[in-house]
């Protein structure tokens, strides 16, 4: 069957129907809303589940180990997107990838909802990692498919889509944070229900709203390639199974060694992917230039997410152990702080969407928006060290300090994350569209792989140094990126 053109795909999508945007944005908005509802509801209580004592319904793991596992789990979730993107680009398209991914995620949350041991815990992690890898990069890629090229609505559309993500992320920690005091497994069960609803929304509305978007396999495998891939995959699975069967009994594969392996892969995989895309004969000269421009943006995103993703690790621990949870007569669940990030995004995303639309061609370039993101992220860590500086690191602090830190990182996120999603769809080589979106999410994987090592250095005694060094590095990199942004812009070959 002949390949559809971008124009044919766009014409199949009703272009008016959701706040002045393509009708398909409705389907993608609510699909991602429920997927994020399930993911962030689970994530808000997961680290507490790991380190709380068994008598309190937890697994009783060491706190530092729990923080590292949480980071590595987050890294694997985003790292698996590279496989999900490849499967979508080469085998079954982005629409089917979203559906299959949702099923795996739902099964993973069901496994978590069943009281059990560490084996059940890690089974659920594997299912959620696979499912998120299939769903998350591909649903974002479909958002790019529903807009015509050079459509000024695109950045605003991604901001609206991003607001849907955060609406789900706002509601779920409030509910699961309350449920965890009764049973962690009730919270995980709610996450499974949320993903089921997301699947229903997607299946019922995709035909009328998305048209042909997501149905085409961008770079399908030939019959010969399919046979080769099947053989390689089968051999790889057998080798991995044998290696695990040998390594675990001999003590070679431990939590620590696994964390180290994933940390290395977090940087090796994106490096290899940049090289493969750049050298591919399916990539033309303009696309190669855009790949080069994408590299500093990717590195900036790694630094940003290294700070932002500590909201579910270091700042979650800070909320649980360093923050006064009795505020104005209200007893606060430590999980509730993870709702502030999406709450601020819900509030401010329309403002940023309006701002970019209002400025039009006068808005800051993509690299300059990224530099602003790094600046705000760095400031968020500088702010959170101040309570320790003024009152010491052994006293409980006002929750307002944590809220202010979260607000600053959100300002940075709105400058970088939705803009990064949009930029990725613009800079992606045609033959690697979904895979480039997966590569964008690998910036988060690399950041969390880095965090798995960084969290080991956090103690009450090193608190101020920890926040100060990481925050200072982010601010310095933001200044450097702002200075070289005109140079990066030239390599983007007309993309703004």
Buried b (16+ CB within 10 A) or exposed e, 140-166: bbbbbbbbeeeeebbbbbbbbbbbbbb
Q: What is the mean pLDDT of the chain?
A: 85
Give the C-alpha distances (Å, rounded to integers) separating 431 from 52, 83, 133, 137.
47, 15, 19, 16
**Range in 62-76, 211-225, 343-357, 433-447 with the lowest mean pLDDT:** 211-225
Tens of pLDDT, residues 86-97: 888 788 888 888
pLDDT score for 103: 92
pLDDT score for 391: 79
pLDDT score for 454: 92
Two structure tokens written together for 454: 């960084």
For residues 118 and 171, the model is more confident at: 171
Which residues on neighbouring strands pair with residue 21, listed in sequence order?
18
Calpha distance 209→325 (Å, rounded): 45
Two structure tokens written together for 343: 């709450």
Two structure tokens written together for 185: 């497994």
**Range in 136-150, 179-193, 229-243, 367-381 with the lowest mean pLDDT:** 136-150
pLDDT at 233 over 60: yes
For residues 271 and 148, the model is more confident at: 271
Tens of pLDDT, residues 346-393: 888 788 878 877 877 778 888 899 999 999 999 999 999 998 888 777
**Contact status, residue 403 vs residue 340, Cβ threshold 8 Å:** yes
CB atoms within 10 A of CB 18: 18
CA 122 to centroid of chain Cα atoms: 20
Q: Nearest to residue 422, comparing CAs of 341, 496, 343?
A: 496
Tens of pLDDT, residues 331-348: 888 989 999 988 998 888
pLDDT score for 419: 84
């Amino acid at each position: 069957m002949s390949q559809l053109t971008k124009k044919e795909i766009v014409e199949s999508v009703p272009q008016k129907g959701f706040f002045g945007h393509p009708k398909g944005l409705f389907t993608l908005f609510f699909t991602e809303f429920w997927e994020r509802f399930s993911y962030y509801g689970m994530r808000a209580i997961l680290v507490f589940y790991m380190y709380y004592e068994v008598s309190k319904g937890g697994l009783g793991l060491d706190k530092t180990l729990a923080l590292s596992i949480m980071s590595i789990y987050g890294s694997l979730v985003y790292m698996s997107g590279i496989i999900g993107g490849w499967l979508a680009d080469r085998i079954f398209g982005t629409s089917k990838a979203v559906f299959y991914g949702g099923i795996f995620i739902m099964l993973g949350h069901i496994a978590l909802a069943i009281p059990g041991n560490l084996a059940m815990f890690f089974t659920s992690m594997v299912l959620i990692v696979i499912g998120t890898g299939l769903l998350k990069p591909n649903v974002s890629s479909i958002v790019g498919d529903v807009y015509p090229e050079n459509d000024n609505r695109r950045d605003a559309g991604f901001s609206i889509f991003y607001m849907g993500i955060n609406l789900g992320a706002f509601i779920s920690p409030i509910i699961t944070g309350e449920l965890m005091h009764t049973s962690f497994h009730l919270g995980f069960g709610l996450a499974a229900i949320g993903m089921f609803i997301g699947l229903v929304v997607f299946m019922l509305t995709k035909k009328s709203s998305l048209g042909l978007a997501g149905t085409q396999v961008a770079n399908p495998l030939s019959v010969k390639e399919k046979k080769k891939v099947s053989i390689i995959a089968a051999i790889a699975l057998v080798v991995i199974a044998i290696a695990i069967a040998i390594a675990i009994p001999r003590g070679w594969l431990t939590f620590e060694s696994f964390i180290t392996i994933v940390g290395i892969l977090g940087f090796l995989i994106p490096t290899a992917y940049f090289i493969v895309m750049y050298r591919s004969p399916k990539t033309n000269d303009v696309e190669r230039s855009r790949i080069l421009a994408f590299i500093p943006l990717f590195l900036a995103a790694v630094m940003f997410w290294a700070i932002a993703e500590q909201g579910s690790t270091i700042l979650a621990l800070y909320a649980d152990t360093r923050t006064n949870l009795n505020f104005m007569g209200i007893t606060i669940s430590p999980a509730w702080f993870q709702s502030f990030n999406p709450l601020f995004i819900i509030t401010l995303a329309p403002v940023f969407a309006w701002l970019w639309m209002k400025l039009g061609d006068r808005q800051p370039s993509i690299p300059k928006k990224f530099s602003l993101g790094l600046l705000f992220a760095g400031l968020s860590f500088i702010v959170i060290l101040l309570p320790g500086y003024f009152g010491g690191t052994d006293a409980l602090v006002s929750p307002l300090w944590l809220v202010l830190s979260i607000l600053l990182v959100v300002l940075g996120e709105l400058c970088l994350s939705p803009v990064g999603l949009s930029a990725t769809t613009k800079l992606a080589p045609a033959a690697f569209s979904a895979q480039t979106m997966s590569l964008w999410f690998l910036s988060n994987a690399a950041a969390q792989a880095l965090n798995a090592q960084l969290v080991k250095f956090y103690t009450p005694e090193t608190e101020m140094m920890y926040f100060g060094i990481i925050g200072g590095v982010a601010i310095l990199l933001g200044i450097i990126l702002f200075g070289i942004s005109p140079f990066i812009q030239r390599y983007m070959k007309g993309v703004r």
